[in-house]
Amino acid sequence: MKGKVVVITGAGSGLGEALAQKYSKLGSHVCLLGRTKSKLQKVASSLQGTSSIYEVDVSSLVGVQKAMQTIVSKEGKIDCLVNNAGVGIFKSLEELSEEDIQKMININLTGTIFCTQAALSYMKAENSGQIINIVSASGKRAKATESVYSASKFGVRGFSEAIMDELTETGIKIFGVYMGNMKTSLWDEGVDQNILEEFMEPNDVAELIIENTKKQNKLYVQDLTILNHKQ
């Protein structure tokens, strides 16, 4: 990954931050995308290598297109896009507000689509690149209190598989990552501390993602499932 340009959405914390740290150590230039500039700046200041930050809401097509265009104009290319930005609101369906529903669909699904669409044109010009979609195990198995969250993640799964078919004849590779629960801000509310201790560390998941996606040089799609013992 040395010399590669890696774009990570939701890079201000959790798995996005862990991936940024590891790609930076490998010598990549890391482009940190997120909604909170201060969080991105904090992550950028801790990286070993070069980085740049882009304050953007992935559910805004104009914002995403502008960010990707700026990245290519400054760095010359996009080698890897990690669609990591996501939000989860875990309540029964009746308890979810219109805002809750729209937020999960817009960020988890629409944001993934917008970022992929914006990056693809640049990757196609080079006939190379990786797109890594962080889906979660909820994109394979639905649970109570995760109706809309699971709907958004099942949507990302279907989107990933369809794009894989579209890109079969190209040098662009698509990876879908289905991981179990991690110790991230997604669980700031409503999770017992004892249960939280059983969740996976973002650094461990990031290591598995990078090691597996580096090895799959001849695959256009990789279903990477990372589960903890509770999943």
Tens digit of each residue's pLDDT, the chain (231 residues): 788 999 999 999 989 999 999 999 999 999 999 999 999 999 999 998 999 999 999 999 999 999 999 999 999 999 999 999 999 998 999 999 999 999 999 999 999 999 999 999 999 999 999 999 999 888 888 888 899 999 999 999 999 999 988 998 999 999 998 887 765 555 555 555 555 566 678 888 888 889 888 765 433 334 555 444 333
Catalytic site residue 149? yes
Contact call for residues 178 and 226 (beta carbons, < 8 A): yes
Q: Give the pLDDT confidence score for residue 198 in this predicted structure.
A: 63
**Three-point CA angle 195, 196, 198, nearest 5°:** 70
* 3-class secondary structure, 213: helix
| C-alpha–C-alpha distance, residues 120 and 68, integer Å | 10
Handedness of CA 30, 117, 37, 213 (dihedral sign): negative
Q: Give the pLDDT confidence score for residue 185 in this predicted structure.
A: 59
Q: Which domains does the chain have, with CATH numbers?
A: 52-226 (3.40.50.720)
Q: Give the pLDDT confidence score for residue 227 in this predicted structure.
A: 44
- Given 23, 54, 149, 178, which residue is catalytic? 149
Strand partners, 51: 30
Pairing outcome for strands 5-9 and 129-134 = unpaired
Give the DSSP per-residue string, 187-200: GSSS--HHHHTTSB
| C-alpha–C-alpha distance, residues 25 and 157, integer Å | 29
Length of the chain in terms of residues written:
231
